Chain A
Amino acid sequence: MYLYNLTLQKATGIVCAINGNFSGGKSQEIVVARGKILDLLRPDDSGKIQTVLSVEIFGAVRSLAQFRLTGAQKDYIVVGSDSGRIVILEFNREKNVFDKVHQETFGKSGCRRIVPGQYLAIDPKGRAVMIGACEKQKLVYVLNRDTAARLTISSPLEAHKSHTITYSICGVDCGFDNPIFAAIELDYLEADQDSTGQAASEAQKHLTFYELDLGLNHVSRKWSEPVDNGANMLVTVPGGGDGPSGVLVCAENFVIYKNQGHPDVRAVIPRRADLPAERGVLIISAATHKQKSMFFFLLQTEYGDIFKATLEHDGEHVQELKIKYFDTIPVTSSMCVLKSGFLFAASEFGNHALYQFQAIGEEADVEASSATLMETEEGFQPVFFQPRGLKNLVRIDQVESLMPIMDMKVENLFEEETPQIFTLCGRGPRSSLRILRPGLAISEMAVSQLPGVPSAVWTVKKNAIDEFDAYIVVSFANATLVLSIGETVEEVSDSGFLDTTPSLAVSLIGDDSLMQVHPSGIRHIREDGRINEWRTPGKRTIVKVGSNRLQVVIALSGGELIYFEVDLTGQLMEVEKLEMSGDVACLDIAPVPEGRQRSRFLAVGSYDNTVRILSLDPDDCLQILSVQSVSAAPESLLFLEVQASIGGEDGADHPASLFLNAGLSNGVLFRTVVDMVTGQLSDSRSRFLGLRAPKLFSIVIRGRRAMLCLSSRPWLGYIHQGHFLLTPLSYEALEFAASFSSDQCAEGVVAVAGDALRVFTIERLGETFNETAIPLRYTPRKFVFHKKKSLIIIESDQGAFTAEEREAGKKEFFEGADMGENGNNNGDQMENGGDDEDKNDALSDEQYGYPKAESDKWVSCIRVLDPKTSNTTCLLELQDNEAAYSVCTVNFREKEYGTLLAVGTAKGLQFWPKRSVASGFIHIYRFVDDGRALELLHKTQVEGVPLALCQFQGRLLAGIGSVLRLYDLGKKRLLRKCENKLFPNTIVSIQTYRDRIYVGDMQESFHYCKYRRDENQLYVFADDSVPRWVTASHHIDFDTMAGADKFGNVYFVRLPQDVSDEIEEDPTGGKIKWEQGKLNGAPNKVEEIVQFHVGDVVTCLQKASLIPGGGDSVIYGTVMGSLGALLPFTSRDDVDFFSHLEMHLRQEYPPLCGRDHMAYRSAYFPVKDVIDGDLCEQFPTLPMDLQRKIADELDRTPAEILKKLEEVRNKII
């Protein structure tokens, strides 16, 4: 079995983010690393974050830094990754790519202890960069310019220190003196050797300054001083005239200002009043804002509170360090303060956000200062505060993030054309159930009812140079309605259009006149109001029209074509006639190319299943250039230019190719390339879009022509970052559409469906899925479907208070606040009501997180959710510190209750210092109220945590620790029937098929078991020889399992056919029973048949098909919030083709950040029988000559390769 791996939804979580001017000029940009992806984001004028570029780098990005050479206009990007190399990138605005400026190897690849890449620090003047590892190694590279002003990089200078752990590094701003880097270090040598523990207790973190002597080209340890043992992060303090220089050391509970020859200035970090005493406060992300006259730091704690740190200084000496409460936003992995007054917050989990500064925290608020620091016998006096609503920031945009995907199932619950993907995302109060549908999200601007059922709609401008449309023209069965677009849209009668007849086409013709084609003629409305009518000869009527700004072709009933052109005076002149053999089904003319008089091609579709290309040149007017037969009668035609490759901001510098698109009556969209010179058709491809013949319309997306296809659902064909994408829109079926541009909506679509006129815009181009989110209460763990109608979700969180306790806590706080603020204001109900609302908002859990409780406290709930109405119909909070971990529906053999729900819970689970649990339970619930609610039947105590439950032959299988046990339903509790205690570690998944049971162990991969009813025994007959830390599993077929491990691998194992047969043919089972085990395990071993490193922890796997009538692929979801698919190849030819393409791409186009592609995909185990579609899909982004070179080696043309890539993608989604 060969598989094709394709990422459907790129990772949405963010590892780290930096900001700067990467394209030069004024615009502020953000570079974010999403694990293996590097993105360039830019907030647009309206404050929406746009993705400008997204590159898959096939390696793990661990750190990013930006620097600017003195006097330069743009920033460079330094990437610290797992490649053992330092890579410097420059954003190329013209080609819209990252250019690799330098790549220097310094060590082995992989995320190792002593290979640098984990930390990056930049000299603030851009003269040197330090790259560090967790332990020992630090390298300094000197950055400079050569005579041609190109960036140069020196050979590395070592700043190693053995037996030393590094916590953080940063550059020290010392103006144009020798560059200095600061590091928090800890020497462990003595602690490792002293068995009394004295050395360990005395181990002290040090702040060390490394000086790069630019004259001697040498790095030396300049200064080292003990620092607080909780230190975890360094922040550069501006120096060299802008400030006092030095660093801020962020430590647990403290921030300390330190500099060489300067006494420490220490301030405590204010604590939330409700924080348990055992917990510290740790700064986990920081951002600096620097203006000419002042600077401040924003420091975020692990609970989400942001503090503004300021220094009182006289240029050299710091008198006071102040830490003032600023605002609270969800916990971030990185914050970027943009010069344009925005704060980009890259959330650790859940959606990212862009905030605008309303103020910079000048108002009075809770503040800790070094001047008022009190030291008592128990340590430093803490400062307390209560989080409040946003005061200084206001959120203006959100970027959706699925991180982390906890569970996922693909199911067509809504009975739509394609199945929906249900994902459990997020953590704690920010968790949600997200329903993903393949397609683009649209936002509806207006819906208005019309007096009848319209058949068509157009928009027209009054003049070719107008920016916005002037009229919307709607055609009915026997009338035409004209609406003028202004501040409002209203009906007009002075437009000159004939309103007593249906229309066939309405458009702008020439520079400033309008044309209406109706069945009995053409009405030409000149700018000054004169009207010219052309009447059809005899009793014939016009049936089809094709037009562009200067050319019109009409088809009369009976099959006659008449061709008109606009002459120099703006008159519409008849040029040529042609009698076709039969009726014309559809017509289209390509738009007039820039600087030309006319378009050369006319496409005519006939009912004899052919499409013809006719010439419109004066020399060979209406001569047939080529004929293409198609599988069904064409209903609609459209010419569309497609640029095959990227270049420019998001455009192309490669020659475009002209595509003829045909919507066929069997629902297929047929696309073929038209030769620009000869009009010959070649390279055709077809795709099934829906049950109705697609109608094709040209609309404008991002200033370029795109294609809207209206079948049983709407589709959009457009170009995004060099790829032509054909994506469904998440909208109802439409009849007819036209592009729409007005003051309020620059690039919209107006469409008719039923008796309504709809105006909408298409959003978030380039995304594969559009999502609907339903908020949940706690971190979701697992879910099941019940009767294809409702979802049962289990949620649990550690270290949190139960809902009642939280409610009580809130109340207490409000009462306290009320006493303080309005102690004398007693009465006014209305005002109190209003107040309460404010305060609820002020303490919304989503923004502030749940208050932290002791780590051995758990909260959990079971939720029954109706996805159609997104209502929770039943929510059971578990009591007594119980938390739910597993869920399944089960039909016991005694049919008394029908389907029951089994939930596995644990009471008082603790991971630290040792994993322990008070007891486990299996709850059995009955569905009541037509499946909308649950009622507890009974609960059974078990000795461990039941992490896996599954129905098996009318009984319940439970994996409890290392025990696999079979239960039957009793009156008061579950009854043990049979068990097997021989599993090596902890059972995390159970799947069954016939009499086989497939058990996933936490550390030891899969075990295949069999249940013998006659002997009532469970045997393990086969297991894996590789220790795999299973995080997800899915049953593929009788002998095959798909699994994923903690280290980011996906693998398939299969029981060899002969072994499988032997086991099935063994009637007594005696053989399995007495067979000797091998390698301390089962007698038979499964074989690994597929292996692939995804590079991200896969948490869920499912076999499913995302397109109607398509083959199955394995869909996976990851912690970083990405979705991918593994599609099995059906032919050997495809396997050969793609493995060769992959091989050539590996050679010719190595990954951007220096990690070898093959090594990356084989990071833990050698990749086996999986072709990386993500690499193959980089083919269109290659330079044209490279594309041709690779295509030549494969004996194909680049276009054929693109077609192949498109085809395989279309098989998946």
Chain B
Amino acid sequence: MQASDRFNINSQLEHLQAKYVGTGHADLNRFEWAVNIQRDSFASYIGHYPILAYFAIAENESIGRERYNFMQKMLLPCGLPPEREDD
């Protein structure tokens, strides 16, 4: 890689994508986008204790259980990924 490449827009984007999980790109599909949104949401629910408590009241579960459920849902938040078309 040449020194000048370091500053062009693509490598900057790549750097961002590597550093910040969830940074989008031009070929992002609907599923990937949704997965990111869902994971971000679950992480936010877990981080904000009052929201976690709000969910816990709605579902009549303990807050600890609610946190565990959200963590578990981070594995496949939107179900199975679609089959790839371009293979």
* Chain A residue at smallest Cβ distance from B43: A113
Is B12 part of the binding interface, using a Cβ–Cβ cutoff of 8 Å? no
**B80 contacts A285, C-beta separation under 8 Å:** no
Complex contacts, A1048 vs chain B, CB 8 Å: 48, 50-51
**B60 contacts A1046, C-beta separation under 8 Å:** no
**A191 contacts B50, C-beta separation under 8 Å:** no
Complex-state Cα separation, A779 to B59, whole angstroms: 11
Complex-state Cα separation, A1048 to B44, whole angstroms: 13
**A134 contacts B71, C-beta separation under 8 Å:** yes
**A134 contacts B50, C-beta separation under 8 Å:** no
**0/1 per residue, A1150-1180, Cβ < 8 Å to B?**
0000000000000000000000000000000
**A285 contacts B46, C-beta separation under 8 Å:** no
**A136 contacts B60, C-beta separation under 8 Å:** no
**B61 contacts A302, C-beta separation under 8 Å:** yes
Q: Give the distance to chain A from B29, nearest Cβ to Cβ, in Å.
A: 12
**Which one of A147-155, A794-802, A887-895, A1197-1205 contacts B?**
A794-802
Complex-state Cα separation, A798 to B30, whole angstroms: 35
Q: Give the distance to chain B from A81, nearest Cβ to Cβ, in Å.
A: 10
**0/1 per residue, A156-195, Cβ < 8 Å to B?**
0000001001010000000000000000001010011111
Q: Give the distance to chain A from B61, nearest Cβ to Cβ, in Å.
A: 7
Per DSSP, chain B at the interface is: helix
Is B20 part of the binding interface, using a Cβ–Cβ cutoff of 8 Å? yes
**A284 contacts B47, C-beta separation under 8 Å:** no
Q: Give the distance to chain A from B71, nearest Cβ to Cβ, in Å.
A: 6
Which residues B26-44 have CB closer than 8 A to chain A? 35, 39-40, 42-44
**B58 contacts A911, C-beta separation under 8 Å:** yes
Complex contacts, B54 vs chain A, CB 8 Å: 404, 1031, 1046, 1097, 1119
Q: Give the distance to chain B from A970, nearest Cβ to Cβ, in Å.
A: 34
Complex contacts, A15 vs chain B, CB 8 Å: 49
Q: Give the distance to chain A from B13, nearest Cβ to Cβ, in Å.
A: 17
Complex contacts, B76 vs chain A, CB 8 Å: 188, 191, 200
Q: Give the distance to chain A from B69, nearest Cβ to Cβ, in Å.
A: 10
Complex contacts, A331 vs chain B, CB 8 Å: 62-64
Is A112 part of the binding interface, using a Cβ–Cβ cutoff of 8 Å? yes
Complex contacts, B63 vs chain A, CB 8 Å: 284, 331, 333, 348
**B60 contacts A1096, C-beta separation under 8 Å:** no
Is A270 part of the binding interface, using a Cβ–Cβ cutoff of 8 Å? no
Is B86 part of the binding interface, using a Cβ–Cβ cutoff of 8 Å? no
Is A263 part of the binding interface, using a Cβ–Cβ cutoff of 8 Å? no
In the complex where A113-B21, A1119-B50 touch, is A779 in contact with B65 (Cβ < 8 A)? no
Is A60 part of the binding interface, using a Cβ–Cβ cutoff of 8 Å? yes
Complex-state Cα separation, A800 to B60, whole angstroms: 9
Which residues A68-82 have CB closer than 8 A to chain B? 82
Q: Residue A1120 contacts which of B46, B47, B53, B84 (CB distance < 8 angstroms)?
A: B53
**B60 contacts A282, C-beta separation under 8 Å:** no
* Chain B residue at smallest Cβ distance from A799: B60
Which residues A409-441 have CB closer than 8 A to chain B? 427-428
**A60 contacts B48, C-beta separation under 8 Å:** yes
Complex-state Cα separation, A194 to B81, whole angstroms: 7
Which residues A314-354 have CB closer than 8 A to chain B? 331, 333, 348-349
Complex-state Cα separation, A62 to B51, whole angstroms: 12
Q: Give the distance to chain A from B60, nearest Cβ to Cβ, in Å.
A: 4
Q: Give the distance to chain B from A868, nearest Cβ to Cβ, in Å.
A: 29
Complex-state Cα separation, A800 to B35, whole angstroms: 33
**A403 contacts B53, C-beta separation under 8 Å:** yes
Complex contacts, A1096 vs chain B, CB 8 Å: 50
**A284 contacts B62, C-beta separation under 8 Å:** yes
* Chain A residue at smallest Cβ distance from B46: A134
Is B5 part of the binding interface, using a Cβ–Cβ cutoff of 8 Å? no
Complex contacts, B62 vs chain A, CB 8 Å: 284, 302-303, 331, 348
Q: Give the distance to chain A from B18, nearest Cβ to Cβ, in Å.
A: 8
Which residue, B48, B50, B63, has most C-beta atoms of chain A within 10 A? B50
Is A232 part of the binding interface, using a Cβ–Cβ cutoff of 8 Å? yes
Q: Residue B60 contacts which of A13, A111, A428 (CB distance < 8 angstroms)?
A: A428
**A427 contacts B57, C-beta separation under 8 Å:** yes
In the complex where A134-B74, A135-B21, A195-B83 touch, is A62 in contact with B43 (Cβ < 8 A)? no
Q: Residue A282 contacts which of B53, B68, B84 (CB distance < 8 angstroms)?
A: B68
Is B3 part of the binding interface, using a Cβ–Cβ cutoff of 8 Å? no
**B84 contacts A195, C-beta separation under 8 Å:** yes
**A165 contacts B49, C-beta separation under 8 Å:** no
Is A630 part of the binding interface, using a Cβ–Cβ cutoff of 8 Å? no
**B59 contacts A911, C-beta separation under 8 Å:** yes
- The count of chain A contact residues (Cβ–Cβ below 8 Å) is 63
Is A118 part of the binding interface, using a Cβ–Cβ cutoff of 8 Å? yes
Complex contacts, B80 vs chain A, CB 8 Å: 194-197, 200
Complex contacts, A427 vs chain B, CB 8 Å: 57, 60
**A232 contacts B68, C-beta separation under 8 Å:** yes
**A1097 contacts B75, C-beta separation under 8 Å:** no
**0/1 per residue, A633-645, Cβ < 8 Å to B?**
0000000000000
- The count of chain B contact residues (Cβ–Cβ below 8 Å) is 37
**A188 contacts B50, C-beta separation under 8 Å:** no
Complex-state Cα separation, A403 to B57, whole angstroms: 11
Complex-state Cα separation, A133 to B20, whole angstroms: 13
Q: Give the distance to chain A from B74, nearest Cβ to Cβ, in Å.
A: 5
Q: Give the distance to chain B from A269, nearest Cβ to Cβ, in Å.
A: 14
Which residue, A162, A196, A800, A1096, has most C-beta atoms of chain B within 10 A? A1096
Complex contacts, B48 vs chain A, CB 8 Å: 60, 111, 1047-1048
* Chain A residue at smallest Cβ distance from B58: A911
**B50 contacts A1120, C-beta separation under 8 Å:** yes
**A136 contacts B21, C-beta separation under 8 Å:** yes
**B39 contacts A113, C-beta separation under 8 Å:** yes
* Chain A residue at smallest Cβ distance from B53: A1119
**A60 contacts B21, C-beta separation under 8 Å:** no
* Chain B residue at smallest Cβ distance from A284: B64
* Chain A residue at smallest Cβ distance from B18: A162
Is A1118 part of the binding interface, using a Cβ–Cβ cutoff of 8 Å? yes
* Chain A residue at smallest Cβ distance from B32: A192
In the complex where A192-B35, A799-B60 touch, is A348 in contact with B46 (Cβ < 8 A)? no
Complex contacts, A428 vs chain B, CB 8 Å: 60
Q: Give the distance to chain B from A439, nearest Cβ to Cβ, in Å.
A: 27
In the complex where A134-B71, A135-B39 touch, is A82 in contact with B21 (Cβ < 8 A)? no
Complex contacts, B58 vs chain A, CB 8 Å: 911
Complex-state Cα separation, A134 to B84, whole angstroms: 28
**A134 contacts B43, C-beta separation under 8 Å:** yes
In the complex where A134-B43, A1120-B53 touch, is A798 in contact with B60 (Cβ < 8 A)? yes
Q: Give the distance to chain B from A1164, nearest Cβ to Cβ, in Å.
A: 11
Complex contacts, B47 vs chain A, CB 8 Å: 60, 62, 82, 111-112, 117-118, 134
Complex-state Cα separation, A167 to B59, whole angstroms: 22
Complex contacts, A35 vs chain B, CB 8 Å: 49-50
Complex-state Cα separation, A372 to B74, whole angstroms: 35
Is A114 part of the binding interface, using a Cβ–Cβ cutoff of 8 Å? yes
Q: Residue A13 contacts which of B51, B53, B74 (CB distance < 8 angstroms)?
A: B53
In the complex where A35-B49, A200-B80 touch, is A284 in contact with B21 (Cβ < 8 A)? no
**B40 contacts A1097, C-beta separation under 8 Å:** no
Complex contacts, A1046 vs chain B, CB 8 Å: 51, 54
Complex-state Cα separation, A911 to B61, whole angstroms: 13
In the complex where A192-B35, A404-B57 touch, is A284 in contact with B40 (Cβ < 8 A)? no
Q: Residue A285 contacts which of B51, B64, B75, B83 (CB distance < 8 angstroms)?
A: B64
User: Could you jot down 28 A-B contacts, CB within 8 Å?
Assistant: A60-B49, A62-B47, A111-B43, A111-B48, A112-B40, A113-B21, A113-B22, A113-B39, A118-B43, A133-B43, A134-B71, A167-B71, A191-B76, A193-B81, A195-B84, A252-B68, A331-B63, A331-B64, A348-B53, A348-B56, A348-B63, A403-B53, A404-B53, A779-B60, A1048-B51, A1096-B50, A1097-B51, A1120-B50
10 closest Cβ pairs, A-B complex: A284-B64, A111-B47, A113-B43, A302-B62, A798-B60, A134-B43, A1097-B50, A195-B83, A15-B49, A302-B65
* Known contacts A111-B47, A113-B40, A1097-B53; 13 further A-B pairs (Cβ under 8 A): A35-B49, A112-B47, A114-B21, A134-B42, A134-B46, A188-B75, A191-B75, A195-B82, A282-B65, A349-B53, A404-B53, A1048-B50, A1095-B50
